[in-house]
């Protein structure tokens, strides 16, 4: 987050990746962690198993209690400003150099005060191929759909076009929240006017 903010505020760019991003972070004096900081036993086991099977996959598509993975958030403040954020480890056993949908504005994450804020999860390649977040925002902006209609229509399109596995959460400019997904489940929670609601499927 610190690096994203520094890129926004202190560079002429929107998006830096790889060595260039790292170099920029060092120039800005941002804190670094050792690689070991990012390793957990569960993830190492998951990665080793996936390598053996020569498989890639969504960590949260696994059975049982291990449904931890991407966290997305969308928010509208009292002045109507909209924001979206998506945090992910990508997919298990992904190739070096892979960029998923999460950081790509318009694919996995999107926010514009005129329409809505959106965060997606799922197979990044499917979400990139359909520009899913921007597509859902366009449904609201130019077709006048409600948040729920746009979420449903975007997921319908994801499945129809690329047999996509994914989900998204939306908050629109009026503060209405919606979600839709083609994965077996997607856990969400909303906080509106002091009321918190949790959906576990």
Chain residues in the site for ligand ASP (CB under 6 A)? 58, 60, 69-70, 88, 90-91, 100-102, 108, 121-124
Residues 6+ apart with CB under 8 A from 175: 76, 192
Is 179 in a helix, a strand, or coil?
A: strand
CA separation, residue 81 to residues 59, 118, 140, 168, 175 (Å): 32, 13, 16, 19, 10
Smallest gap from Cβ 1 to ligand ASP, in A, equals 18
Smallest gap from Cβ 195 to ligand ASP, in A, equals 27
Q: Which CB sits closer to ligand ASP, 64 or 144?
A: 64
Smallest gap from Cβ 124 to ligand ASP, in A, equals 2
Q: Which CB sits closer to ligand ASP, 136 or 145?
A: 136
Q: Which CB sits closer to ligand ASP, 102 or 115?
A: 102
The catalytic residue positions are 70
CA separation, residue 131 to residues 101, 124, 158, 182 (Å): 9, 10, 9, 16
């Amino acid at each position: 987050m610190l690096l994203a903010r520094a890129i926004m505020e202190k560079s002429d760019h929107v998006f830096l990746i790889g060595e260039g991003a790292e170099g920029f972070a060092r120039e800005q004096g941002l804190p670094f962690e050792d690689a070991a900081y990012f390793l957990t036993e569960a993830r190492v086991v998951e990665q080793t198993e996936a390598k053996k099977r020569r498989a890639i996959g969504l960590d949260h598509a696994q059975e049982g209690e291990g449904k931890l993975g991407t966290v997305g958030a969308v928010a509208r403040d009292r002045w109507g400003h909209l924001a979206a954020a998506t945090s992910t480890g990508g997919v298990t056993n992904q190739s070096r150099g892979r960029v998923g949908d999460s950081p790509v504005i318009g694919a996995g994450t999107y926010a514009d005060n005129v329409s809505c804020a959106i965060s997606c999860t799922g197979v990044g390649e499917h979400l990139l191929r359909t520009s899913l977040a921007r597509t859902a925002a366009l449904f609201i902006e130019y077709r006048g759909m409600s948040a729920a209609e746009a979420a449903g229509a975007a997921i319908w399109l994801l499945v129809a076009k690329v047999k996509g596995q994914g989900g998204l959460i939306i908050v629109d400019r009026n503060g209405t929240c919606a979600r839709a997904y083609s994965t077996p489940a997607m856990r969400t929670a909303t906080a509106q006017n002091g009321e918190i609601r949790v959906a576990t499927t």
